[in-house]
Structure 1
Amino acid sequence: MDEYVTCPFNKAHRILKFRMPRHIIKCQLNYRGDPLEQCPYNAQHFIKEGTLAEHLNSCEDYEIASMEDFRIDYKYKC
């Protein structure tokens, strides 16, 4: 089953998930909208500047990274 995702630079672009990294590079060069910042936990997440904290509340990759950090800390403390 192919999964499509929406381009952060042009909402009209629906791209196969495995092709998104290459598409982002191409589409980012032509982007002329509001400034976006990249999520530190997923290079495919681009959000409006100043809304990173809001994004992290719903970012699945942030939750996964946080759980990994917790497991590593717990492992070394025991």
Structure 2
Amino acid sequence: MVMLDADAYGYATSALERPLTQQHRAGLTRLAAVFDKVLPAIEDEYATTYCTHVRDMAVLTAEVENLREK
């Protein structure tokens, strides 16, 4: 989970500075899919809430990137 959190933060920070490369965009898509698989397995309520927010940040980052292309 720590690595997922770090990856999501890294993608979001990079997206604030410049458009993401195609490789980074693919990684962001994979990251969101991993969060979707892992979230149901988390039993701690606080951890679930935190990880859901991190997942949402990754999804919003992907949406920002999609809007940049338009």
TM-score by length of 2: 0.32
Q: Which has the higher strand share?
A: 1
RCO comparison, higher one (Cα < 8 Å, 6+) = 2
Q: Which has the higher helix share?
A: 2
TM-score by length of 1: 0.29
Rg comparison, structure with higher value: 1
